[in-house]
Structure 1
Amino acid sequence: MSDCQLYLISPLDVSGAFPDRLASALDAGPVAAFQFRVKGIDEHEAARLADPLQRICADREVAFIVNDSVSLAKRLGADGVHLGQNDGDLADARARLGRDAQIGVTCHNSRHFAMEAGDAGADYVAFGAFYPTITKQTEHVAAPDLLTWWQSIFELPCVAIGGITPDNAAPLVAAGADFLAVSNAVWGGNEAAAVQAFAAVLQA
């Protein structure tokens, strides 16, 4: 039984029936965390969209993580924030969100970025993209041995991201990913069936 867990990332459009889809996904199998990732809307609107999703996660004890915005994470009282390399200072985020917040950092395929994030007090580091992805433009490609290297040296959890599907996830689990971050593989079709398919891989 692997210790790897599923980390869902929202589609950019979380309006309409999306709360029902989120509930369906979370009820289909074990999910450790949900990242709220919307772009190009103001914080007030983002908070309005986040509210029902945050409640759905809280009811199921799924961590609710905000992408990019420390101020939105603080406003929502979210469980944490995920920072890209250009999304501000980790120490500042820690000071604003408190020591209990889960703060993750995108490290692409860089061992240096990951070690810097660990030294700065990140709760997890994210590596990728491991596979071609349509969710965002791929500038950095990571190999599974990066996960193995990280696990051999550091206690800090690592997240694998980028084009991960139930069909290609197993090598990343074997290499040492603590979490698989997935978006289109779940929201691009039947979310409940996709979560069940990932659960089968993670329990194999």
Structure 2
Amino acid sequence: MAVIRDRLRLYLVTDPVLCARQGLIAVVTAAVRGGVTCVQFRDKTASTEGRIATARLLQQALAGSGVPLIINDDLDAAVATGADGVHLGQDDVRVAQARALLGPDRIIGLSCDTADQVRAVVPGVVDYLGLGTAFPTASKVDHKPSIGLNGLAVLAAGTTLPRVAIGGLKHDHAAGVIAAGCDGMAVVSAICGQPDPERAARTLRHALDIASGGSQ
């Protein structure tokens, strides 16, 4: 569990539109150089076949980095590629089914935006929780109402699982996110939408490391 907490420090969620100009692989590679600790491949418009093809390119780019690749929502793509794990929403495939297909060693994350959802998580099935939406964000148009840092603290207090905050987060939120009880934060536009993804990631990582007591 400690390893998963470390991997959540700076969690990049990809966006095909924001990454289009520089190229997804180039953005991810630069972000990892800057200190990203986990990559979630999210592409809501692609087919499963398309996600599989892109995930394999991402696996090649991440090889040897120690940074896990998590597939958003698409369990079939996660199984087919042997990705490090899958991240599921409340309306996606049941986590028990995902665990049965992925086995005990691969990572399963689950999005939660209410205290009831956090309390309903089955211990031993889910490895970490994505908590939010913290603040309004344009990168996910159908997101639930934002809960702010106080809301994050309420959700984080309801579980001992590793947890990562998501939703409209930038480097100046780092201290608040860690103080709220999260192990790190997930970002989209704060890296994918920046002209220099490596520099953006490095700034975010530095802020998170400082907020966490300076640990790397």
Common fold by TM > 0.5: yes
In 1: Cα distance, 2:24 partner to 2:72 partner: 17
What are the residue-to-residue correspondences of 1:182-197 with 2, within 5 Å? 182-189=187-194, 190-197=196-203
TM-score, with structure 1 as normaliser: 0.90
In 1: Cα distance, 2:198 partner to 2:51 partner: 25
Shift of the 118–57 alpha-carbon distance from structure 1 to 2, 3 Å rule, reads farther
Q: Which runs of 5+ in 2 are unaligned?
A: 1-5, 211-216
CA positional deviation for 1:155: 2.2
CA positional deviation for 1:166: 0.7
CA positional deviation for 1:146: 4.1
What are the residue-to-residue correspondences of 1:38-49 with 2, within 5 Å? 38-49=43-54
What are the residue-to-residue correspondences of 1:10-49 with 2, within 5 Å? 10-13=14-17, 17-29=23-35, 31-49=36-54
Contact 1:8 1:34 in 2 (8 A): yes
Contact 1:7 1:179 in 2 (8 A): yes
TM-score, with structure 2 as normaliser: 0.85
Contact 1:127 1:142 in 2 (8 A): no
1:76 to 78, 81, 85: 81
What is the number of residues matched between the two proteins?
Answer: 201
Determine the structure 1 residue equivalent to 2:214.
none
3-state DSSP of counterpart to 2:170: coil
Contact 1:118 1:125 in 2 (8 A): no
Q: Which runs of 5+ in 1 are unaligned?
A: none
CA positional deviation for 1:122: 0.8
Counterpart code for 2:136? P
3-state DSSP of counterpart to 2:129: strand
In 2: Cα distance, 1:128 partner to 1:73 partner: 23
3-state DSSP of counterpart to 2:173: coil
Shift of the 42–201 alpha-carbon distance from structure 1 to 2, 3 Å rule, reads same
